[in-house]
Amino acid sequence: MGRMSWLDQIKWDAQGLVPVIAQENSTGDVLMFAWMNREALQKTAELGRAVYFSRSRGKLWFKGEESGHVQQVHDIRLDCDQDVVLLKVTQLGHEPSIACHTGRHSCFFRSLQAGQWQSTEPVLKDPETIYK
């Protein structure tokens, strides 16, 4: 029996997906959360750029394919339970970097303050101009 593939060591969910966190390599900022299927993770490892699986579109999503906000992948990590992937990335395509489809640096731009969700990050670029 041969060595188990690194992809076989991941605990995929019932839909064949694994949750993925994208973290900015230089700052440690959590940029976004997404999903990958086996093909997306394999392509990410091969290409050195983030490729996710879009559940709403039912297909691979090459981060930045429409916006130009590509994620260069430096490191791919697997958590202790083997059911969450962490990507250490450099967000390319805009300075300062934009990872969120709302035109913000991070998708985690809301903070719970006094029982209300408050936006804590500015829109760096109008989403209407990002997606044509």
119 within some domain: yes
Q: What is the CATH number of the domain that holds 50?
A: 3.10.20.810
Residue 49 lies in a domain: yes
In a domain, 32, yes or no: yes
Average pLDDT for runs of 10 along the chain of length 132: 82 98 97 98 98 96 93 98 98 91 95 97 92 69
φ and ψ of 113, to 5 deg: -135, 120
- What pTM does this model have? 0.91
Predicted pLDDT at 130: 86
Which residue, among 87, 89, 91, 94, has the nearest Cα to 125 in the 3D structure? 94
The predicted structure's pLDDT at residue 2: 55
pLDDT of residue 112: 97
Q: Do the domain assignments include residue 63?
A: yes
Q: Which domain holds residue 39?
A: 6-127
Q: What is the pLDDT of residue 18?
A: 98
- Identify whether 132 is part of a domain: no
SS3 letters for 102-117? CCCCCCCCEEEECCEE
